[in-house]
């Protein structure tokens, strides 16, 4: 087994996760089998009970593991299925002491040989990402002198263990890639190497020597800067890679390939004779296609964590995968669900009007999963607006449950209908607590992981989008479900439960047959979406939002076909453009105010939020 360790220095948020994933993509393109491990040095055993505002989304694996969102990046980039053991935390390790550094090394060796790509036998290379920051420089307020900080204190046992591990597996089996920052000060306009020098010095002082430097910078590193880093960090200039700003993150593996990063890694790991030149044609075509898309599709994301996009990272990625497959430029309108409520109309009318303007201007509406009663009424209003105005709607987990509540109230005239999560004493509990759940223990007590959903209606949008299969396996994370005692009443009123669990008593998928696209699911389809294999239900939402649903229902498999480059005569990638920017029959007005959007250079979508007050 060969190991590639990815560490980060100077500051957090440099993109270690994307770098680790991209290294895996390039090595996989060289014909090697790759697995991944993420080390999170926090005391929690998993990410399940951590606040989305502090830690981003909780990513759910097939085995029910609630893990760091970086494992979602690994799965999406490498198209693999990881287990909860691929996420090591201090909380897990400290349950196994006596000798913590030995326990860490044994855990890594055990997990590294577990196949994650559907094939038998261990992978060739295990890419390990160490969370936290090593070797930051803290500047004194008194004299401005730099004081070298060894890094996050909670990372120390893992750093020591990895130092021992590199010696234990020996030369030729361990490669360390250190991601660092080379900033440019506006005053002088010069790329500064000192932060990276300090970071590498701290890393070496802790017993780890980098083989490759991956330097984050706004622009490509100048040659004299590379030479300086090589001299003072003791890394060959050929092993210093620039990770400059790109238009979308699918360019990162291409950056690594173009700078021969794979050759440097393969040389350190003695794999030159085993691996081939990386084949990344389809990956390159998809990255170019993302840059070339201009025809927008506008999706309103209605949630309670809209202040931090990482809280819904997998949902965003699934929307992107589907948008690219439909040849549309994704525009996400962030709508805080509390701003749609009547209380906001009285307290902050500007925020209320801005939120409703965004909702009404969207081509489609998505209500993602969540917990707690804050903003629930706003989500119910969003589902009601989509239902009454024939706007394409996708509700995920809680988004399905609030759609059921709205249907009970507005269509069935059950005005006191509610979920027992929000009103334990409601007289019409249309959403109830699952009997196998726990109301006292919050961590790991939900219905988690991959579960099978059987289709009970063959002529519905969902089954057609999934390719007319009899069942699907999707990942779950919930404590509440649609009240099975009310299902017959709902169905007689026109709500179709087209997908159910193996018992037939747990509702998994709802549809409104007469609506252009109104779908709710108890599971989380975003967790299994891939760049080359977009989620069926997200594809349906995007297609319905831009007038392509009928064509997609007739041939859903075309979204999974490899993307082939089409270059126009002027050398620019040219996507297919429809008349007036949309296919014929598109009833929603096209978005025309992208100038108000914020464009993020490390992603390829626009994010807009209405005027908000602090909550």
Residue 561 phi, psi dihedral angles, 5° rounding: -75, 150
Weakest mean pLDDT among 191-200, 373-382, 389-398, 591-600: 591-600
Q: What percent of the chain has pLDDT over 90?
A: 73
Among candidate residues 524, 582, 588, 606, the one labeled active-site is: 524
Return the higher-pLDDT residue of 275 and 94. 275
Q: Which of 294, 295, 291 shows the shortest CA–CA distance to 548?
A: 295
* DSSP codes, 62-116: TT--EE-THHHHHHHHHT----GGGEEEHHHHTTT-SSHHHHHHHHHHHHHTS--
Tell me the average pLDDT of the chain: 86
Q: In terms of pLDDT, which residue wins out, 135 or 334?
A: 334
Give me the phi and psi of 505, to 5 degrees please.
-105, -15
**Neighbour order of strands in the sheet with 212-217:** 87-89, 34-40, 125-130, 2-8, 174-181, 212-217, 240-244
| Percent of residues, the chain, with pLDDT higher than 70 | 85
Is a pLDDT exceeding 50 seen at residue 146?
Answer: no
For residues 77 and 259, give the distance between their C-alpha atoms in angstroms, rounded to a whole number.
20
Whole-number Å distance between alpha carbons of 615 and 612:
9
Residue 277 falls in the annotated catalytic set: no
Query: Which candidate in 75, 129, 474, 526 is catalytic?
Result: 526
Quote the pLDDT of residue 144: 41
Average pLDDT of the residues in 606-613: 35
* Residue in 397, 478, 511, 606 annotated catalytic: 397
The region of weakest confidence among 68-72, 86-90, 439-443, 559-563 is: 439-443
pLDDT of residue 566: 54
Report the pLDDT averaged over residues 180-198: 89
**What local confidence, expressed as pLDDT, does residue 45 receive?**
83
Query: Worst-scoring range by mean pLDDT, 389-403, 479-493, 580-594?
Result: 580-594
371-415 residue pLDDT tens: 888 999 999 999 999 999 999 999 999 999 999 999 999 999 999
DSSP letter, residue 237: G
Query: How much is the average pLDDT of 256-274?
Result: 95
pLDDT range class, residue 591, cuts 50, 70, 90? very low
66 is catalytic: no
Q: What is the mean pLDDT of residues 166-195?
A: 91
Q: How far is CA 548 from CA 327, 392, 512, in A?
A: 11, 12, 19
pLDDT confidence of residue 440: 56
The pLDDT assigned to 99 comes to 85
The answer to whether residue 606 scores a pLDDT higher than 50 is no
User: Which pLDDT score is estimated for 411?
Assistant: 97
Is residue 215 annotated as part of the catalytic site, yes or no?
no
Tell me, what's the pLDDT at 3? Answer: 97
Per-residue confidence (pLDDT) for residue 438, from 0 to 100: 57
List the single range of 7-16, 132-141, 282-291 with lowest mean pLDDT: 132-141
Of 344 and 310, more confident: 344
More confident residue, 610 or 498: 498
**pLDDT number for residue 147:** 41
Which DSSP string corresponds to 324-343? HHTT-EEEEEEEEGGGGSHH
Label residue 557 by pLDDT band (50, 70, 90).
confident
pLDDT in tens, 429-476: 999 998 765 555 555 578 999 999 999 999 999 999 999 999 999 999
What was the pLDDT predicted at 148?
42
Residue 570 has pLDDT above 50, yes or no: no
pLDDT-derived band of residue 134, with 50, 70 and 90 as boundaries? confident
pLDDT reported for residue 590: 34
């Amino acid at each position: 087994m060969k190991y590639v360790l990815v560490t980060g220095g100077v500051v957090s948020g440099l993109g270690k996760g994307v770098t680790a994933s991209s290294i895996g993509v390039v090595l996989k393109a060289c014909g090697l089998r790759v697995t991944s491990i993420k080390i999170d040095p926090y005391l929690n055993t998993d990410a399940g009970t951590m606040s989305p505002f502090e830690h981003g989304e909780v990513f759910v694996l097939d085995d029910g593991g609630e893990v760091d969102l970086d494992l979602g990046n690994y799965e999406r980039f490498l198209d693999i299925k990881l287990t909860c053991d691929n996420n090591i935390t201090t909380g897990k390790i400290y349950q196994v002491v006596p000798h913590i550094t030995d326990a860490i090394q044994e855990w890594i060796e055990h997990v590294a040989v577990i196949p994650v790509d559907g094939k038998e036998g261990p992978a060739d290379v295990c890419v390990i990402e160490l969370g936290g920051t090593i070797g930051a420089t803290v500047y004194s307020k008194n004299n401005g002198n730099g004081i070298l900080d060894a890094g996050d204190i909670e990372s120390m046992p893992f750093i020591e263990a990895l130092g021992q591990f590199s010696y234990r597996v020996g030369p030729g089996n361990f490669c360390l890639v250190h991601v660092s920052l080379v900033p440019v000060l506006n005053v002088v306009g010069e790329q500064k190497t000192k932060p990276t020098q300090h970071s590498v010095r701290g890393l070496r002082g802790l017993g780890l020597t980098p083989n490759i430097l991956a330097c984050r910078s706004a622009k490509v590193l100048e040659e004299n800067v590379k030479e300086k880093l090589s001299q003072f960090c003791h890394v060959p200039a050929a092993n210093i890679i620039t990770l400059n700003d790109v238009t979308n993150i699918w360019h990162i593996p291409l950056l690594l390939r173009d700078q021969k990063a794979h050759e440097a890694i393969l040389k350190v790991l003695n794999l030159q004779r085993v691996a081939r030149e990386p084949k990344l044609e389809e990956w390159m075509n998809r990255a170019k296609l993302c840059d070339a898309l201009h025809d927008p599709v506008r999706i309103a994301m209605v949630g309670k964590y809209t202040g931090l996009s990482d809280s819904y990272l997998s949902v965003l990625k699934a929307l992107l995968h589907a948008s690219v497959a439909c040849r549309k430029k994704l525009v996400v309108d962030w709508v805080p669900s509390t701003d749609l409520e009547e209380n906001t109309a009285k307290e902050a009318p500007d925020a209320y009007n801005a939120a409703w303007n965004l909702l009404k201007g969207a081509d489609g509406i998505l209500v993602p999963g969540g917990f707690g009663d804050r903003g629930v009424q706003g989500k119910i209003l969003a589902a009601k607006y989509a239902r009454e105005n024939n706007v394409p709607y996708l509700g995920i987990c809680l988004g399905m449950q609030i759609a059921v509540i709205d249907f009970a109230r507005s269509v069935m005239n059950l005005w006191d209908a509610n979920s027992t999560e929000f009103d334990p004493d409601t007289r019409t509990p249309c959403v109830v607590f699952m009997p196998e759940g726990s109301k006292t223990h919050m961590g790991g007590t939900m219905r988690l992981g991959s579960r099978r959903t059987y289709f009970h209606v063959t002529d519905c949008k969902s089954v057609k989008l999934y390719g007319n299969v009899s069942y699907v396996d999707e990942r779950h994370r919930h404590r509440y479900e649609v009240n099975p005692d009310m299902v017959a009443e709902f169905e007689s009123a026109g709500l179709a439960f087209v997908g159910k669990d193996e018992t037939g008593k747990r509702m998994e998928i709802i549809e409104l047959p007469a609506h252009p696209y109104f779908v709710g699911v108890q599971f989380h389809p975003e967790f299994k979406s891939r760049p080359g294999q977009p989620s069926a239900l997200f594809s349906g939402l995007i297609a319905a939002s831009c007038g392509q649903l009928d064509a997609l229902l007739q041939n859903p498999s075309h979204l999974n076909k490899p993307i082939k480059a089409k270059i126009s005569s002027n050398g620019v990638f040219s996507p297919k453009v429809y008349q007036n920017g949309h296919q014929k029959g598109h009833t929603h007005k096209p978005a025309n105010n992208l100038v108000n959007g914020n464009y993020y250079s490390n992603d390829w979508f626009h994010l807009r939020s209405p005027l908000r007050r602090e909550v």
